[in-house]
């Protein structure tokens, strides 16, 4: 416990120390693109309501993930080295998820910045992003199945259910789903990171309950870094994660759920993410197959903003819902057969 608390504090202070000058530098660079972004926002869009609600966010710099990911991974490696902990295939799966999905998001972030300079505001195409996510998720699923030896899930009351090779498509689906769910939720100041911090505390309890010290170390360092970032991300946000952080964090959260064997628990612990992505999917299906919108705007947190709720009110209430989902999911995950 003392080691865990110390890691959280070290991660918190190191991330804070790096974020302050990094944010200042981003605001200096922002002035270069401000005029172009103004022209971009004024152009016609397929989602005018969403763009109007998000207008202030176009001027807030992104890049928080570029600080958090290196801090978390480097501190974890240093801790393993200092305390002579082995780097297992489970650790490799976590690192690969955060790095590979983070790199994919970084490419998209860089495309956003580059395209802004030529009067456009778009990144990689959704089809290309999904194809890359599928390949990366498949690699992680194969590592979990063949190297870590995972082939089962825990079902509350029933117990462990062996899936065999069907574990691979389940893992791929979970990683892609949570990667995109996290990215979609990153729309209001402090929303996605606050929800993630709540989820990670729940998984800290699960990891401690099965004495998985490697996972405890990683989660503790990640939590400390997120708390530091959240200080600058709450309303009014001074910085956003960007796709590098959003894709990397969502995929890594899914891998943690898979490693603990509590993938159904993950669906409940991260229940707010599930609600958010389902609201977006329902909107997409309604527009495509019914020819009309199901909601005036999606995802659901943007709908609440559309009907007049203040942003901090939405975020705090979603945090409270996330806390209750986490408690319920943790209770289910700890149920014995």
- pLDDT at residue 49 is higher than 90: no
* pLDDT tens readout for residues 203-221: 999 998 877 889 999 999 9
Q: Domain count for the chain, please give it.
A: 1
Q: Give the mean model confidence (pLDDT) for residues 105-125.
A: 63
* pLDDT tens readout for residues 1-36: 788 899 999 999 999 999 999 998 888 876 665 544
- In the block, tokens 């993630």 appear at 196
Give the per-residue SS3 of 4-22.
HHHHHHHHHHHHHHHHHHH
Report the candidate in 273, 147, 139 with the shortest Cα–Cα distance to residue 200. Answer: 273
CA gap 228, 117 in Å, rounded: 31
CA gap 155, 160 in Å, rounded: 6
* pLDDT tens readout for residues 157-181: 777 888 999 999 999 999 999 999 9
Q: Which domain holds residue 120?
A: 2-334
Report the length, in residues, of the chain: 337
What is the percent of the chain where pLDDT is above 90?
Answer: 57
Has this prediction a pTM greater than 0.75? yes
Identify the band that residue 51 occupies on the pLDDT scale cut at 50, 70 and 90: low
- pLDDT at residue 241 is higher than 60: yes
Identify the band that residue 41 occupies on the pLDDT scale cut at 50, 70 and 90: very low
Q: Tokens at residue 69, please? A: 């990911």
């Amino acid at each position: 416990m003392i080691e865990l608390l110390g890691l959280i504090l070290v991660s918190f202070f190191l991330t804070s120390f790096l974020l302050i000058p990094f944010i200042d530098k981003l605001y200096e660079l922002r002035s270069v693109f401000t005029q172009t972004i103004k022209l971009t926002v004024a152009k016609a869009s397929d989602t005018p309501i969403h763009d109007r609600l998000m207008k202030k966010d176009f001027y807030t710099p992104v890049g928080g993930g570029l600080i958090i990911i290196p801090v978390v991974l480097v501190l974890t490696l240093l801790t393993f080295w200092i305390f002579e902990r082995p780097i297992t295939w489970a650790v490799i799966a976590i690192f690969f998820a955060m790095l590979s999905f983070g790199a994919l998001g970084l490419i998209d972030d860089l495309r956003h910045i580059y395209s802004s300079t030529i009067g456009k505001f778009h990144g990689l195409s959704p089809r290309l992003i999904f194809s890359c996510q599928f390949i990366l998720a498949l690699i992680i699923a194969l590592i979990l199945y063949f190297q870590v030896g995972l082939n089962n899930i825990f079902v509350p009351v029933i117990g462990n259910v062996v899936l065999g090779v069907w574990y691979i498509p389940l893992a791929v689906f979970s990683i892609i789903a949570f990667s995109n769910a996290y990215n979609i939720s990153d729309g209001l100041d402090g929303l996605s990171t606050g929800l993630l911090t709540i989820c990670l505390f729940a998984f800290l309890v699960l990891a401690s309950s099965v004495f998985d010290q490697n996972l405890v170390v990683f989660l503790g360092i990640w939590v400390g870094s997120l708390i530091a970032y959240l200080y600058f991300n709450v309303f009014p946000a001074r910085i956003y994660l960007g796709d590098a952080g959003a894709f990397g964090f969502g995929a890594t959260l899914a891998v943690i759920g898979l490693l603990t064997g509590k993938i159904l628990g993950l669906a409940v612990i991260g229940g707010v993410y599930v609600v958010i992505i389902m609201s977006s999917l329902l909107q997409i299906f309604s527009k495509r197959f019914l020819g009309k919108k199901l909601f005036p705007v999606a995802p659901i947190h943007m709908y609440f903003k559309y009907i007049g709720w203040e942003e901090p009110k939405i975020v705090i209430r979603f945090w409270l819902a996330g806390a209750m989902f986490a408690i319920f999911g943790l209770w289910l995950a700890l149920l014995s057969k």
